[in-house]
Amino acid sequence: MTGAKAAPRVAVIGGGPGGLYAAALLKRLDPTREITVWERNAPEDTFGFGVVLSDETLGGIEHADPVVYAAMQREFVRWDDIDIVHRGHRSTSGGHGFAALGRKRLLQILHERCRDLGVELRFRTEAPPAADLSRAYDLVIAADGVHSATRTAHAEAFGPHIEEHRCRYIWLAADFAFDAFRFEIAETGAGVMQLHGYPYSDSASTVIVEMREEVWQAAGFEGLDEHESVERCAKLFADALDGRPLRSNNSAWIRFRTVVNDRWSHGNTVLIGDAAHTAHFSIGSGTKLAVEDALALAACLQEQPTIERALHAYEEERRPVVTSTQRAARASLEWFEELKRYVDQPPRQFAFNLLTRSRRVTHDNLRLRDPEFTADVEREFGCPPDTPPMFTPYKIGALTLRNRVVVSPMDMYSAVDGVPGDFHLVHLGARALGGAGLVMTEMVCVSPEGRITPGCAGLWTPEQAAAWTRIAEFVHQQAPGTALGLQLGHSGRKGSTKLMWEGIDEPLDEGNWPLSAPSPLPYKANSQTPHELTRDGLTEIREQFAAAAWRAARCGFDLLELHCAHGYLLSSFLSPLTNHRTDAYGGPLENRLRYPLEVFDAVRAIWPADRPMTVRISATDWAEGGNGGDEAVEIARAFAAHGADAIDVSTGQVVAEEQPAYGRSYQTPYADRIRQETGLPVIAVGAISSWDDVNSLILAGRTDLCALARPHLYDPHWTLHAAAEQGYTGPGISWPLPYRAGSRRPQTGRTDAPKPRLTLG
């Protein structure tokens, strides 16, 4: 044999589940391999108590090694329910399907399997350095955990990024079996604490106690030894434990560390499990990821002709899965870090919020798993019977929206001299006919110099006002029940650029107009440098906003939004990265807010009192030294104090060097924070793409409205189709009469073809 399949000598550093399982699989696939595992601890030593595995992971184990699977199967404790206990209320959600066993027993099973196959296990023995092993062995598997010495020794090659988080936690055990996966919240004088508990045998449960660092210190845990900590935890959660004690096993209070590596292999050395990546225990992923790594690595070594190609294929296969898991784990971790934000929610909503914290469990998942629980949450929330959360009405100011869906502002770059034409009529009209509760225009500019591109729409002339009036009349006549909102803004230093498809943020080749900003800082190195606004310039632009608002009111718009995000003029006053002024409009946040608030006040004074005003903000600049979540909360509070009816929470696009953390609904946590800490209505936006996401976010209380952009470009009738797919026909949606015949999903080809009658083993 040649290549990766031969790999006659394999060294494994670390005798945890990932390393042991990798050794067993590789030996089973090729009995001629010489495989040695180094583990510095004794075989009976283990840290932690129970291990939870998903059905997906178990299926992979079953197919790869039925012997290991059968041994594990005999030990499993299975349960379906999750209990959330908070302020004396116990909410139970069923249908979740967990399998767990003791970590010590899992290691014993893997030890036995390795010995039976002929793997050499060296306990109580430090592994030689990976660099030495890589010269003596064909393959080195570093499964040496979160504190991996291999990763540290070759940090330049692996490129590790390690982040320590804000909670302390301790792994303990109880000598009885919980009858469900249990989350219990304790509100103490020191702060909020939580218990995560689950059974791992008929007579034992894992218990994890977790709390913020400052709560841990205030509660006095810092000065306690292990025994004292265990006793204190048992007293704090005496109700959950029914007065029974807890026990430890070299348990210590630790802070979770997220590990990410730029690369997982270096020469013939490869990282697996926690050495390569970690994901917070609250989604039960550590052992799962390590075992799945071992499965994928073994398969790639079997399939690829060389070790180099096998290690590349392994990382290519696993990295997207791990990245997705880490994203979900971070969402879960941060939810528990910010637990105090949610403790005042109604009990069922709190439970739903906890269950959907990682965004992997959703409203639709729960509706299928436990329809009774989900119906109770919906009823407590105020959903009318048979009404998905997204189709519950919402009142913003004096305006009642028939549903919670917003067509987000999207620049079309298709106006001529600022005049919206037939394209805009069709574009906005189609989305209004598509069922959303609120349809927003693109950013409408207050002056020729306030445009982003020559194709941007405006509202500084009577001709532009007449064109917008035509669009508003169409929406109100042909799509009754749909509200139309205008977003008003000024490009600032990001103006005088090409149309998006000709070169986004690239300056015009000719025909440029002068730019203005709080400070003379170009957006990019090749961008035009704006002039710093004087007092006269500030007054002139403020009056341009007021004049545009006067026209907007007469056009018939139902809502006006002031654009203070994405690095445009008002946004650039808010960020310290773009506002370097030393006068009353620069410096501390109070000063940086001054001009945007002056503009808001001028617009609010003109805009009819019975029509709502919202403000879009960038809740983080995604750049060091810029605004972040703390500033976003204060900015939101300031606008609300001046009369804003809701905050539209976007992020970024303030500086070109930003580094956003993209992902599904990645901006929603900022809206959630503003809503929880200020009580203000919020609009969430950013990679919200499914009606299930919309239902989940609204029912969990993380937002009041959801704004979607690209999904409405893909499907102008996204909201109508969301109703059809959920079987909803109530007042939260209205099919235009000419479209009513299409209100049921069209039939498709057969998918129920006869199944094969024979399966060959």
Catalytic residues: 568
Beta bridge partners of 517: 532
Question: Which residues lie below 8 Å from residue 608, measured CB to CB, with a gap of 6+?
Answer: 553
Structure tokens at 230: 């265990």
Q: Which amino acid, 585?
A: Y
| One-letter amino acid of 161 | H
Tell which residue, 589, 603, 599, has the closest CA to residue 636.
Answer: 589
Return the SS3 of 123.
strand
Sign of CA dihedral 10, 320, 150, 330: negative
Q: Residue 81 corresponds to which tokens in the numbers above?
A: 């329910």
Specify the amino acid at residue 105: R
C-beta separation of 387 from 728 below 8 A: yes
- Count of residues in the chain: 761
Instruction: Kindly write down the DSSP assignment for every residue of 227-250, as one continuous string.
Output: HHHHHHHHHHTHHHHTT---B-SS
Q: Annotate 305-338 with b (16+ C-beta within 10 A) or e (fewer).
A: eebeebbebbbebbeeebeebbbbbbbbbbbbbb
User: Burial letters for 510-538: b for 16+ Cβ neighbours within 10 Å, e otherwise?
Assistant: eeeeebbbbbebbbeeebbebeebeeeeb
Q: Are the C-beta atoms of 645 and 401 separated by less than 8 Å?
A: no
Q: What residues pair up with 164 in beta bridges, in sequence order?
A: 257
Contacting residues for 110 by C-beta, under 8 A, at least 6 apart: 17, 20, 21, 24, 68
Residue 556 phi/psi, 5-degree rounding, is 100, 15
Collapsed DSSP state (helix, strand, coil) of residue 624 = coil
Alpha-carbon distances of 664 from 60, 236, 328, 700, rounded to whole Å: 27, 37, 10, 16
- CA dist., res. 235 & res. 121, Å (int): 41
Pairwise CA distance, residues 650 & 40, whole Å: 49
- Of the candidates 444, 447, 494, 457, the one whose C-alpha atom is nearest the C-alpha of residue 653 is 494
Cα–Cα distance between 544 and 574 in angstroms, integer? 20
- Residue 88 gets the label, from left (phi > 0), alpha (psi -120 to 50) or beta, of left
